[in-house]
Structure 1
Amino acid sequence: RAVPFDFTGADDIRQFSFLAAYRLGEEEQEERLANGDWVLSAGLYFVYRKQRLASEVATIGATPGAPLTDLIRRNARQVTPDLWVQFLWGDLRLELETALNVGSIRNVSRDTFTDDDARILSFGFAFQGEYRLLDEALGIYVDTGLASGDSQSRGISGRENTYLQQDGNSRLTHFGFHPNYRIDLILFRNILGNVGGVYYLRPGLSYDLVRTAFGQRLGARVDVIYSRANRSSQIREYGSRDANSLGLELDASVYYRSEDGPGLTDGFYAAFQYGILFPLAGLKESGLNVRNAQTLRLVLGVEY
């Protein structure tokens, strides 16, 4: 069997990154919080990417073993600054990360050079808020985030590859979170694939029936996630033209973690999760009977 061989690096993406961060040591941070002081941490991640040529003609379903010799001129450049800030004070945690994509693509065609001169300008942010009460047994959460959309494209699913740009438009403004940043169990995790072109709000509550200094936990958590598309044109293919609301999801979990010891992170972990998604107008296409989606998950793990 032939082994694939990379004949040239001309189609590779070059990337240069820079990282700067400020954070107190763990012991100093705990001491300041115990004394009633606040703690601020921050980080900046800067990435520059460029690609001169691309081999986009190699599509899924191509004949196995077929040689690929055609390269398309791409001339793409992108700058991404990413800022992270965390604020801690007593039992309060506020955390924010925001990123911006700025760049250009000389040619967006897959098989010819069209000199599109497309411009990239997209942004997104994610915020997490947590406050603990009753000796940290009760947790109150408010998470929210936004990923910019694109009024001249169709689709918001990163899994379906449906970011279809309309002819004549040279601005690319759709922003997508990394798929591993998960906020739910159904809509973004299993249907859309990632948070992209939407706004979401996720309040939640948790309560630990058992919570020891040695790390043992037994409790439950409930989250409600409301999601809404930023641009109605992106969901016009499968939703109402003027209805941006995508869905309302309810996620609940019961979890257990065994004792590990002071300062240790090893131990057994188990969780039973249930989620139900109620589709709203943005996911309801006329003529189709769109019903609620449900999921059950059992998570077992050993941390060491």
Structure 2
Amino acid sequence: MNNSLLFRCLVTALLVCATSSAYAQDTPATQDSAEPAAAADTPSADVPAPSDEAEDADAEEGDADEDGAGEDGVADEDRAGEDGVEEEAVAPALVDEDAEPTPENTGKAIIAPPPKTSPIADLAKASSNDEFVPLEDLDEAVLQSITPAKVYPFVDWSGSFRLRNAYKKNFDLDTFGTSAVPPPVEQYTPPNDQTTTPVDAEADTLWSTDMRLRLEPEINITESLRLHVEADLLDNIVLGTQQGNIERFGVAGVDKSQPIIKVNEAWAEIDVLSATFRAGRMDDQWGLGIFANDGDCFSCRVENPIDRLSLTIPVWEFYARLTADFPADGLATAPLTFAGQAYDAGQIDDVDQYTLAIFHQARTRQDRELRAHRLQVEKKPVFDGGLYFTYRTQRGFFQPNSGADAGELDRLDQGTLTYRGMQMYIPDLWFEMMYNPEPDMLLRVSLEAIGVFGNIDNAGTDPVGVSDDNDAVNCFDADTFAANEAICTSTGTGSDRKDASTTLSQFGVALESELYMGGPVRFGLNGGFASGGAERNWGFQSDASGHINSRGRAAMQFYRFSPNYQVDMILFREVIGTVTNAYYAKPWAQVRFFESPASRMEIQLDAIFSAAADPAGTPSAVVVDEISSGGNSLLGLEFDAAARYIESDQFQAELAGGILFPFAGLEPQINSQRLVPYGDQPLQYGQTFAPSFAWTIQANLNWHF
């Protein structure tokens, strides 16, 4: 064998291997980025590109070269010499070691090797049109949003624990009965039965601490089947009222009215196609919460769940929800010893309710991500809102006989079915806009407006349907009612007949706003309005035993915000109980400092001015023959302040205080009736009292998980 020819072949092979190795190292990982390099290696116009057959032939030729012999068993180098190929054509001196291999310097077309890829990249390209991003190139925020795979069934645990301490000074306003908060018992309770002098007539301080542990497990049976439970353990229990706390000198105070465990919600949910069906006892939240409020806020006091069947369907960019509700089922039996199952004793006394809601709101994780992208990346305003419409009806109610012994079966006929004739239409509009054009600028405006319309043929508790001749009229029958409408909408007979019907016309509006323009300060203006009527003490009255009740049809014009929608610390939250027969304006400012993604501290200042919508519905109304008139519309001016430490919405420590300066609208007049009893004093006032200011300091700790 010619040694020089063997040497030239060896050098050529080494150059090809080195060039291929360098090309592979410089080739990007994706096909798209490899296109420029492949274009640079495209054969020139004077050298035709190899066809598929030529590539196959080269491959076969390569296999033969690898075996060291051709089809006839003769070595390639020997065959080349025998065919007369000139050695100078491939002389080492003519080879440029730094040049790219081309058809001109290799004698054949160079085929670019495929770019480096990973099996994961191939899988991603095969299953999606999105560009594959390696794990190491993902942003940390994106990695945190990746949800790990779940193994069904599993339980998602959430809940909260709170501890509240409140020091309340003069919450009865020194009016002895116009406030829903009575004075301390030592102010009007004597030490023994030999005197009427109270233990401490100057006492005006209430100080207590309460706690609540709430557990909200969600049992995920499959991806589309879920069960949810909300239970309160020691629901707002006042510390020191524990059961069986026997001390040396007796038993500590025991509050037996509160159950140790109270189940608020229990519902099941299933996803069918794109719809979601839910059934059971569940919370109900809509808009700002002046009507439907789930009571899940840090300072919420009451739970108001609803029993319902609910179907939610996505419609374009909106959601539609239709529900069949069970607000009240009237008379129901106790569990029978021989049957074991309680049941609804009749349908004619049921309250039937149906709700339709059409809304735009972020409900799913995808909704929230799209909303955040539009707000923070596209710098466009985000709009939420919708219509919540409720239709409610009741034909009658069961009126038990006074003093009747309510047994398991005997009580079913120990009373009368009283005609009610109620129809209510409740539209609730909600709108919210948020705009975040710059990192240091934010504008948020929220508005909710509600109206309650309808009529009630018998708004009281006394039965109707007795003619002047004492003939009974069955008002439940439609034809009979049409022929005796005046009798079916009034009580009594003859000259004592009184109209019992009423027309409903209630209104409520709440506005919230927030403006942030950089720096540590945020501020806004909130406001609200709730309709009222000419009925003293906000349409409420109390009896000698201290029970506070609505005054029937006279109170039907008072719209009342949900007590969980809290505006202040004293007047609406405690003295009145909620926003009703009033309008208010609340400018506020908040300063944030030591702010980080995980925690912050803040100080908030509020000022609340309030006045009555109808002065005749305040304690200052003049009462003549049970008819309220006059009165003063000014209610009060309150200043509240709070300092908070917040950590990732999972912990909040708050120290808050407030002071209320009551105005003349809270000053009781002679012959006005007390809202709450005051010792052994009569329910009616014998003199006027000027209200004095009240103040409070409260400390609250809240844990969420």
1:79/1:218 CA distance change after superposition, 3 Å: same
Q: Which residue of 1 aligns with 2:395?
A: 52
Cα pair 2:561 2:578 within 8 Å, conserved: yes
Residue 154 of structure 1, aligned match among 536, 543, 553 = 536
Q: Which residue of 2 aligns with 1:257?
A: 646
Note the C-alpha offset of 1:175: 1.3
Rounded Cα–Cα distance in structure 2 between residues aligned with 1:71 and 1:237: 38
Note the C-alpha offset of 1:155: 2.5
Q: Which residue of 2 aligns with 1:95?
A: 446
Note the C-alpha offset of 1:99: 0.6
Q: Which residue of 2 aligns with 1:200?
A: 584
Note the alpha carbon deviations across 1:25-69, whole angstroms, 9 max, x for none. 22222222223321111111110000111235689xx78857453
Rounded Cα–Cα distance in structure 2 between residues aligned with 1:58 and 1:296: 47
Amino acid at match of 2:698: R
Q: Which residue of 1 aligns with 2:605?
A: 222
Residue 175 of structure 1, aligned match among 559, 563, 570 = 559
Rounded Cα–Cα distance in structure 1 between residues aligned with 2:451 and 2:654: 35
Rounded Cα–Cα distance in structure 1 between residues aligned with 2:401 and 2:560: 24
Query: Which secondary structure does the structure 1 equivalent of 2:692 belong to?
Result: coil
Asked if residue 279 in structure 1 is aligned to residue 662 in structure 2, the reply is yes
Amino acid at match of 1:107: N
Asked if residue 294 in structure 1 is aligned to residue 645 in structure 2, the reply is no
Asked if residue 17 in structure 1 is aligned to residue 355 in structure 2, the reply is yes
1:192/1:242 CA distance change after superposition, 3 Å: closer
Q: Compute the RMSD of aligned alpha carbons.
A: 2.7
Asked if residue 105 in structure 1 is aligned to residue 456 in structure 2, the reply is yes
Q: Which residue of 1 aligns with 2:653?
A: 270
Note the C-alpha offset of 1:173: 2.8
Rounded Cα–Cα distance in structure 1 between residues aligned with 2:566 and 2:612: 17
Rounded Cα–Cα distance in structure 2 between residues aligned with 1:296 and 1:72: 48
- The worse-fitting range, judged by mean Cα deviation, of 204-213 and 92-101 is 204-213
Q: Which residue of 2 aligns with 1:235?
A: 618
Cα pair 2:558 2:580 within 8 Å, conserved: yes
Between Structure 1 and Structure 2, which shows a larger proportion of helix residues?
A: 2
Query: Which secondary structure does the structure 2 equivalent of 1:161 belong to?
Result: strand
Q: Which residue of 1 aligns with 2:505?
A: 121
1:109/1:165 CA distance change after superposition, 3 Å: closer
Query: Which secondary structure does the structure 1 equivalent of 2:569 belong to?
Result: coil
Query: Which secondary structure does the structure 2 equivalent of 1:189 belong to?
Result: helix
Amino acid at match of 2:603: A
Alignment: residue pair count: 288
TM-score normalised to the size of structure 1? 0.85
Note the alpha carbon deviations across 1:189-240, whole angstroms, 9 max, x for none. 11211111110111111111221123x0211111111111101111155689
Rounded Cα–Cα distance in structure 2 between residues aligned with 1:63 and 1:298: 47
Note the residue ranges of structure 1 that are not aligned, 5 or more in a row.
none
Query: Which secondary structure does the structure 2 equivalent of 1:70 belong to?
Result: strand
Residue 26 of structure 1, aligned match among 348, 355, 368 = 368
Cα pair 2:539 2:558 within 8 Å, conserved: no
Cα pair 1:155 1:164 within 8 Å, conserved: no
Between Structure 1 and Structure 2, which shows a larger proportion of strand residues?
A: 1
Cα pair 2:428 2:449 within 8 Å, conserved: yes
Amino acid at match of 1:17: T
Amino acid at match of 1:223: D
Cα pair 2:444 2:513 within 8 Å, conserved: yes
Rounded Cα–Cα distance in structure 2 between residues aligned with 1:178 and 1:280: 24
Cα pair 2:536 2:618 within 8 Å, conserved: yes
Cα pair 1:238 1:283 within 8 Å, conserved: no
Note the alpha carbon deviations across 1:54-89, whole angstroms, 9 max, x for none. 235689xx7885745322110101010111000111
Residue 245 of structure 1, aligned match among 621, 630, 634 = 634
Alignment of 1:52-71 (within 5 A): 52-55=395-398, 65=406, 67=411, 68-71=414-417
Query: Which secondary structure does the structure 1 equivalent of 2:558 belong to?
Result: coil
1:158/1:37 CA distance change after superposition, 3 Å: farther
Query: Which secondary structure does the structure 2 equivalent of 1:55 belong to?
Result: strand
Rounded Cα–Cα distance in structure 1 between residues aligned with 2:595 and 2:380: 25
Rounded Cα–Cα distance in structure 1 between residues aligned with 2:638 and 2:394: 39
Query: Which secondary structure does the structure 2 equivalent of 1:196 belong to?
Result: coil
- The worse-fitting range, judged by mean Cα deviation, of 244-253 and 280-289 is 280-289
Rounded Cα–Cα distance in structure 2 between residues aligned with 1:92 and 1:244: 33
1:180/1:55 CA distance change after superposition, 3 Å: farther
Query: Which secondary structure does the structure 1 equivalent of 2:594 belong to?
Result: strand
Note the C-alpha offset of 1:181: 0.8
1:257/1:157 CA distance change after superposition, 3 Å: farther
Q: Which residue of 2 aligns with 1:140?
A: 523
Query: Which secondary structure does the structure 2 equivalent of 1:212 belong to?
Result: coil
Amino acid at match of 1:283: L
1:63/1:269 CA distance change after superposition, 3 Å: farther
Percent identity, aligned pairs only, is: 28
Q: Which residue of 2 aligns with 1:80?
A: 426
Rounded Cα–Cα distance in structure 1 between residues aligned with 2:404 and 2:570: 34
Note the C-alpha offset of 1:3: 4.9
1:53/1:283 CA distance change after superposition, 3 Å: same
Q: Which has the larger radius of gyration?
A: 2
Note the C-alpha offset of 1:9: 3.8
Cα pair 1:53 1:72 within 8 Å, conserved: yes
TM-score normalised to the size of structure 2? 0.38
Amino acid at match of 1:109: G
Rounded Cα–Cα distance in structure 2 between residues aligned with 1:196 and 1:130: 24
Amino acid at match of 2:567: I
